[in-house]
Structure formats: structure tokens, C-alpha cells
């Protein structure tokens, strides 16, 4: 198993080595130590490898991830798993702003809390947050699932499209065109499967509420003009 010490190895060299991995690589287990808050660690990986990072990171960790499983034993700065396509990213600590932004696929698990704009413009990614999320989360979220075991801040789902939002705790306020919707059996099944994948066993899918689009802002309507601002 390759172990890379970022106290002694250039970050560019690490990312280049990860980018050169092919689908058939034998180097499937990687460990990164002493990250010291570095930015853009393990971005753009496109191989079925398992990357363990021991320590906290700066912005854009595991951005544009494909196929890889990246586990961070620490907290992360803004933009973790930004534009992720597939694979899995697990953060054992907290995440700063816009976690999982514009993600097209894969699974992002945050075992602590996530800050503002979690899941902004998500396009198919699944995000599970064991703690709370901040304001403006899932802004303009287009597709995918956001599961929050704790509370949500102001303006959840503002200008949302067809993403599904599931919150177990309190929602401070809903954004424009976001409403509470019935929690049907198929939604309980979705939440249950995502909780299982995230390794969360102490909460039940039936405890969540579902939120989504009222579909009133898809086309301009003068009766809703105030909501467009």
C-alpha cells in the first residue's frame, strides 16, 4: 500500500500519481498522512482505488471524483467532493461550505456537521449528513438525494428543481418554491438504503420528513413575481 507523506512529498506529485492510475491498477490502497490542511487533495481521481487521508484538509478535497473511495479522518474545507461523478467520499469530521456542490453522482457522507450551501446545484449525487446543515443548502438542487439526520438552516431548497430532501430534525425555514411533501413508502426505502450505505444505524428512515419543489417557478408567472428576486 503506497503511503504518501505530504510533509515530504509535493501535492502536485501526489495528484499526478493518482491521475495516472488505470482501472486495472494493483495499487488499490493508498494512505496520505500529514495533509496539514492542504487544498485540492485527491482531486480528479478516476480509478477504483481506496484512499485514506489521515488529518484535516482545505478546500476541494476529492473534487471531480470518479470511482474512488476517499475517506478523510478529519474535517474538510469548502467544496469537498465538488462535481463528483461517482465513487464515495466519507468525511469523519465536519465539512465547510458547499459540500457536494454540483455533484452528478456517487455518495458523499459527512459524519459531523456541514456548513452553508450543502448540496448546492446537486445534479444526481447522494449526500448523507449525520449532523446539521447550514443555510441555503440544496439551493437550485436539480437531482439526487440529501439526507440530514440533524437540523437544517434557513432557506432550505431555495429554487429547487427535482432533488429530494429528507430532514430528521428541525428546518429553520424553507426557500422559494420548496415545500414539505408526503413521505411515501418509496421515500422511506430510499432513506433507509442511504442510511445503511453511510453506516448510520441509530436512526430510522420513518423519522424523516421530505421536502421538494412546488414546481411554481419552472416558468415565469406574474403571480409569483416576488419569488424570483
What pLDDT is stored for residue 24 in this prediction?
85
Angular region, 162: left φ>0, alpha ψ -120 to 50, beta rest: alpha
Least confident of 20-29, 54-63, 148-157: 20-29
Residue 23: pLDDT band (50, 70, 90) is: confident
* Burial tier of 52 (Cβ tally within 10 Å: 0-12, 13-18, 19+): middle
Task: Give percent of the chain above pLDDT 70.
Answer: 95
Alpha-carbon distance of 18 to 127, in angstroms, equals: 24
Q: Which residues partner with 114 through β-bridges?
A: 95
- pLDDT reading at 225 higher than 70: no
- The class (CATH top level) of 3-228 is mainly beta
What pLDDT is stored for residue 223 in this prediction?
66
Q: Where are the domains of the chain?
A: 3-228
- Across 78-88, average pLDDT: 98
C-alpha cell at 13: 506529485
- 19, 22, 26, 27 alpha-carbon torsion, rounded to 10°: 10
Q: What is the pLDDT of residues 2-15, one digit of tens each?
A: 999 999 999 999 99
Residue 164: pLDDT band (50, 70, 90) is: very high
Alpha-carbon distance of 99 to 62, in angstroms, equals: 11
pTM check: above 0.85: yes
CB-based contact 228:220 (threshold 8 Å): yes
CB atoms within 10 A of CB 35: 26
Least confident of 52-66, 173-187, 210-224: 210-224
Amino acid at each position: 500500500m503506497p503511503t504518501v507523506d505530504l510533509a515530504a512529498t509535493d501535492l502536485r506529485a501526489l495528484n499526478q500519481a493518482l491521475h495516472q492510475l488505470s482501472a486495472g491498477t494493483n495499487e488499490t490502497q493508498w494512505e496520505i498522512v500529514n495533509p496539514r490542511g492542504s487544498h485540492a487533495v485527491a482531486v480528479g481521481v478516476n480509478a477504483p482505488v481506496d484512499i485514506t487521508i489521515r488529518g484535516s484538509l482545505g478546500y476541494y478535497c476529492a473534487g471531480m471524483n470518479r470511482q474512488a473511495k476517499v475517506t478523510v479522518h478529519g474535517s474538510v474545507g469548502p467544496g469537498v467532493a465538488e462535481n463528483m461523478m461517482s465513487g464515495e467520499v466519507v468525511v469523519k469530521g465536519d465539512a465547510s461550505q458547499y459540500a457536494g456542490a454540483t455533484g452528478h453522482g456517487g455518495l458523499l457522507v459527512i459524519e459531523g456537521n456541514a456548513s452553508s450551501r450543502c448540496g448546492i446545484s446537486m445534479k444526481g449525487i447522494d449526500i448523507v449528513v449525520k449532523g446539521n446543515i447550514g443555510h441555503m443548502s440544496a439551493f437550485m438542487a436539480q437531482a439526487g438525494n440529501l439526507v440530514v439526520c440533524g437540523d437544517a438552516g434557513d432557506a432550505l431548497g431555495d429554487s429547487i428543481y427535482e432533488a429530494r430532501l429528507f430532514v430528521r430534525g428541525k428546518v429553520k425555514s424553507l426557500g422559494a418554491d420548496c415545500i414539505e411533501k408526503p413521505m411515501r413508502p418509496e421515500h422511506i426505502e430510499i432513506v433507509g438504503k442511504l442510511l445503511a450505505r453511510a453506516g448510520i444505524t441509530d436512526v430510522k428512515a420513518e423519522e424523516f420528513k421530505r421536502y421538494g419543489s412546488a414546481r411554481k417557478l419552472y416558468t415565469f408567472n406574474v403571480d409569483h413575481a416576488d419569488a424570483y428576486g
